[in-house]
Amino acid sequence: MSTSEPSRFVRLRVELVLAVDDEEAVTGAALQRIADDPDMPGEEQTHAQNAVTEDTAEALAYLVDPFDLVSEVPGIELQQASWSSEWIDYDPDSPEWDLDGDDDGQDDAQDTEDTGGVRGAAG
């Protein structure tokens, strides 16, 4: 009989609901980030520019980076990240939005965009 060691990996789930008050400002910031990215090839840059121009939720996905959230935390190394953004109907009084409720462990099937990996992380 062998003794199993506890895993050193932790899944951190974060859900944010943001109110977009100025779509042009969000889109402009995303376009600037894309333009300032020296590692993004030209064809990918053109695709990204079109995507953020057409959809502010997509622009947010370019501006919010999980690596930025944890890069200054000592003693950890980001292994994988995935994030998405979508337009939603939000009712803060609805039980659906109870952040203290039990997590059923299921991924949200309504996510529309998923990067599938670490974006912007060096290492």
pLDDT exceeds cutoff 70 at 120: no
Q: How far is residue 19 CA from its own chain's centroid?
A: 16
Contact status, residue 54 vs residue 87, Cβ threshold 8 Å: no
Chain position carrying tokens 């949200």: 108
- Per-residue confidence (pLDDT) for residue 3, from 0 to 100: 66
Torsion sign (Cα): 44, 56, 34, 70: negative
Q: Report the b/e string of 11-32 with b at 16+ CB within 10 A.
A: eeeeeeeeeeeeeeebbebbbe
Ordered by start, the domain boundaries in the chain are 16-123
Interval 52-107: pLDDT, tens: 999 999 999 889 988 888 999 999 999 999 888 899 998 888 888 776 655 554 44
Q: What is the DSSP letter of 4?
A: P
- Per-residue confidence (pLDDT) for residue 123, from 0 to 100: 34
DSSP-H helix ranges across the chain:
23-35, 42-54, 56-63, 66-70
